[in-house]
Structure 1
């Protein structure tokens, strides 16, 4: 840690801790300064999201101190390196060019992304026009980001109508695949195999079983029903996928950042190309804000300031995300992987031990369901948990408006109650209050808003990594267990007594 970084952290830690009530009472303009809308489009396609961080403990002194930390960490240079296609993933010697998929990045990467999108668009439209015969179902097979991103986006955007019924399978547990089989007619089903290397054991095992299912149910050419989404197109061809149905994506696009590439094929197939492009456009709006805005006015960086304050200064070990919209039911799961796989590190980018906590545990739930499950701890428990609320002004249903009115008032009331607290009639009814939350309020939860929300969290994750001095783009922590599982499968390995006993009990010893 450099002297400048150390001094900046000392400045952050020296800021007096004031309650949220005190912060609001002393600053009438607080809501205006700590709330901001990002907007896109005009006329009928206009939309936006309000980001309100006023119920966090950020104040002028903390914002200034964190701006100094960002400068000491070289945030502007790191951001430029990311968006310029430099090898920001230092441990693997790679760039991280997911923003180029949305049109923001180096000229070469943006051009390559446009060409690959054009290829995907041709295939999507050909399928919709019947070039592969009637297609009513898609079984999308992947794992990690190759599955979580498509599953989350398809679930969010197809509540009203899906052009193709999509089932995402990631678990190697055969029950997951059998459930998809039961919902699909093999005669009208395509299989998408999503694997960066086209060697991932869970994905390739599931893919082989899916082909067997097609074959066993009378499909004469099962391989002709497969679309490959991969950064290793030659391996997909070797596996038996026709080159015309291989949709490549660049090696520089990591799995948990890959929704925007050909990994988004099931989204485009389910909702149509125009909606997929709208999702890209919403993300690009956030990219441009992130690129062009400095300091506290950069919403992604401001969110990271709050994240670092609660993790490093207040000792919060978790951060909760609650979506007050059924369409975002899978968003907490998606963000869990994005944040914990990216920033769950114990060394800095230059291979030195980190000097404090890195990523908190991300968790969450949906709407009023969570209020009757976990909010007891959030209001009255001994853990301090920063919370994000996400909601939409426009409802996703056509029922009595009372449904959505009650949903939104519950969302806003929870944030207000967490901050205000209540003295109560006795200790059991006492609410301490002063519990922080942030709110993201969308005009409507459409494809553009979804793209904007995901891109915001991608850049928030990157900003946190820069403030910590770590590399968010590698994930070596997932490798050890996988390597040991391969040893077990091969009948080798030197395991502890407990593990050997478990293998024997399961008939695997």
Structure 2
């Protein structure tokens, strides 16, 4: 047994969850349940009343958080302690949204001035591009941004710019490239003009395989369509730690933005990795994004556990994964601009908490990270919601919706809200056999037919959900929302005693992929590999053109 499972609170939770009443009964017994199990923070409202919990459940969860020293672990992260123990790194994405007056030390050096300096550099660059001062090699202003990255260097900027579409600079378009499949960059390059396109390459090493390959292909396209090596500095900039490689490529050293080891890729959109965001929505809105996240940081650091939004959400995730055997968690966004958010949270959570050993190297004896998935409401209601309502697996859900639309049109937003709230109600209360029979009483069917169909219409209910609302989707509320999920992810990892900030599974795939690439490029014998890998390599060699 690990320290976590040895806890008397752990045992008490296991016994308690088996005895807890159905949520429908909990609501019937307590008219104040919604008021008691909801809170507001940082422009967000969380209704967590539709969870399998009563006051005793909550007390046990908070007790578990205290036993695992959660508050001390939170402070350790914000203080710059080396909490990424396998890579011996601090974890300080929160420093990217710190005030200039703050002091945050890494290896005895205050990193805040460097962060502020980078933001000032970004602001100057964004102003030059968006005001038309920055010209391409033929003297034309920039109309298109092509952002080239992979993982967090791609997904964060893409999802945030998509979410903030109403705030875009009307004179710019943005295109994102990550996949090394040539079709991806080929299709993007067909949309742009080399005279008016700016490429933003994001790679800490300037050597990430997919990113470098796509950037070299973009360079070849640029040179083949009128540009020269001397013109590259007007059309290519980089976010990287490898200034030498970037300047060798042809980029101006003044247009190379730094990355730091204390920021993981999936937490990096707040840094210069967010340059495409700032270009599209303006530096003021980028700063508002940071401010919203900072507000959530302060809430997470200072609010009592019982009133702490990320803590509450993280504790419920543990509850379902460890005591109800929930294997997945669905994120449902009732806003078209937030349609990409489930994919972003998927990377954030699964890359962070897809771990099977504790910080000390012990094998865990409990579920850790769930499968995160989801999509856009109301589309999902006509697809996978069936599984949520009547399938055999328990799938906790998060519903996210702004109360005001950026595009008010007739009854659209009212209908959207009715679907969102109706789904959470249906998940909670379900439908009994008696209710189904009552609905069929006037159907004209025989008693036997009614009974048969009623059985198919029964829904167990008691399916948990959180509902997160905001007045309107703005840069500030989006920043708070993303930071909420960052900290929720941290809470889970802290409770499970795992390292949420390394990614050795990702590294293994890269290592073996590079070995296969060498064999493919050099036509090197692969018979020493397993028969499947050898067979696939030989098939590719025989058919590759």
Give yes or no for the alignment of 1:154 onto 2:190: no
In structure 2, what is the Cα distance between the partners aligned to 1:56 and 1:507?
Answer: 54
Please state how far the C-alpha of 1:84 moved relative to its aligned partner: 0.5
SS in 2 for 1:190: strand
Equivalent residues in 2 for 1:246-325, closer than 5 Å: 246-325=256-335
Are 2:327 and 2:371, in contact at CA under 8 Å, matched by a contact in 1?
yes
Please state how far the C-alpha of 1:127 moved relative to its aligned partner: 1.6
Q: 1:204 to 1:60 in 2, by over 3 A?
A: same
SS in 2 for 1:354: coil
Q: Considering only aligned residues, what root-mean-square deviation do their CA atoms show, in Å?
A: 1.6
Please state how far the C-alpha of 1:36 moved relative to its aligned partner: 0.8
**1:239-294 alpha-carbon deviations (Å, 9 max, x no partner):** 33211110112221110000000000000000101110110111111001001012
Give yes or no for the alignment of 1:205 onto 2:205: no
Find the partner of 1:61 among 40, 43, 56: 56
**1:440-479 alpha-carbon deviations (Å, 9 max, x no partner):** 0111011111101100000000000011000100000111
Question: Aligned residue for 2:538?
Answer: 504
Are 2:48 and 2:466, in contact at CA under 8 Å, matched by a contact in 1?
yes
**1:36-92 alpha-carbon deviations (Å, 9 max, x no partner):** 1114xxxxxxxx211111101132212221222212211111111100011111100
In structure 2, what is the Cα distance between the partners aligned to 1:296 and 1:167?
Answer: 43
In structure 2, what is the Cα distance between the partners aligned to 1:11 and 1:508?
Answer: 61
Find the partner of 1:435 among 463, 466, 474: 463
Find the partner of 2:516 among 468, 488, 506: 488
Give yes or no for the alignment of 1:176 onto 2:171: no
Equivalent residues in 2 for 1:456-495, closer than 5 Å: 456-491=484-519, 494-495=528-529
**1:410-455 alpha-carbon deviations (Å, 9 max, x no partner):** 0000000111111223111111111111100111011111101100
Are 1:283 and 1:448, in contact at CA under 8 Å, matched by a contact in 2?
yes
In structure 1, what is the Cα distance between the partners aligned to 2:409 and 2:112?
Answer: 43
Question: Aligned residue for 1:126?
Answer: 128
Are 1:324 and 1:391, in contact at CA under 8 Å, matched by a contact in 2?
yes
**1:155-206 alpha-carbon deviations (Å, 9 max, x no partner):** 1112464342111111001111012112211110000001122110000000
In structure 1, what is the Cα distance between the partners aligned to 2:479 and 2:542?
Answer: 45
Are 2:206 and 2:245, in contact at CA under 8 Å, matched by a contact in 1?
yes
* Bigger Cα displacement from structure 2, 476-485 vs 406-415: 476-485
In structure 1, what is the Cα distance between the partners aligned to 2:223 and 2:124?
Answer: 27
Structure 2 unmatched runs, 5+: 105-109, 136-140, 438-453
* Bigger Cα displacement from structure 2, 30-39 vs 248-257: 30-39
Q: 1:120 to 1:495 in 2, by over 3 A?
A: same
Are 1:5 and 1:73, in contact at CA under 8 Å, matched by a contact in 2?
no
Question: Aligned residue for 1:81?
Answer: 76
**1:95-123 alpha-carbon deviations (Å, 9 max, x no partner):** 01100111177432333211211111111
Question: Aligned residue for 2:448?
Answer: none
Are 2:41 and 2:309, in contact at CA under 8 Å, matched by a contact in 1?
no
In structure 1, what is the Cα distance between the partners aligned to 2:28 and 2:529?
Answer: 60
Give yes or no for the alignment of 1:391 onto 2:425: no
Q: 1:2 to 1:382 in 2, by over 3 A?
A: closer
In structure 2, what is the Cα distance between the partners aligned to 1:432 and 1:315?
Answer: 17
SS in 2 for 1:191: strand
SS in 2 for 1:506: helix
Question: Aligned residue for 1:44?
Answer: none
Please state how far the C-alpha of 1:24 moved relative to its aligned partner: 1.6
SS in 2 for 1:490: helix
Question: Aligned residue for 1:413?
Answer: 422
Find the partner of 1:116 among 108, 115, 118: 118
Equivalent residues in 2 for 1:306-455, closer than 5 Å: 306-400=316-410, 402-423=411-432, 424-425=436-437, 426-455=454-483
Q: 1:106 to 1:69 in 2, by over 3 A?
A: farther
Structure 1 unmatched runs, 5+: 40-47
In structure 2, what is the Cα distance between the partners aligned to 1:219 and 1:154?
Answer: 28
Question: Aligned residue for 1:140?
Answer: 147
SS in 2 for 1:278: helix
Are 2:37 and 2:48, in contact at CA under 8 Å, matched by a contact in 1?
yes
* Bigger Cα displacement from structure 2, 209-218 vs 419-428: 419-428
Please state how far the C-alpha of 1:497 moved relative to its aligned partner: 1.0
In structure 2, what is the Cα distance between the partners aligned to 1:26 and 1:469?
Answer: 36
* Bigger Cα displacement from structure 2, 488-497 vs 419-428: 488-497
Q: Which structure has the greater CA radius of gyration? A: 2
Question: Aligned residue for 2:35?
Answer: 32
Equivalent residues in 2 for 1:186-265, closer than 5 Å: 186-220=194-228, 221-265=231-275
SS in 2 for 1:419: helix
In structure 2, what is the Cα distance between the partners aligned to 1:504 and 1:464?
Answer: 44
SS in 2 for 1:507: helix
Please state how far the C-alpha of 1:217 moved relative to its aligned partner: 1.1
Are 1:5 and 1:72, in contact at CA under 8 Å, matched by a contact in 2?
no
Please state how far the C-alpha of 1:508 moved relative to its aligned partner: 6.1
Q: 1:411 to 1:489 in 2, by over 3 A?
A: same
In structure 1, what is the Cα distance between the partners aligned to 2:236 and 2:408?
Answer: 37
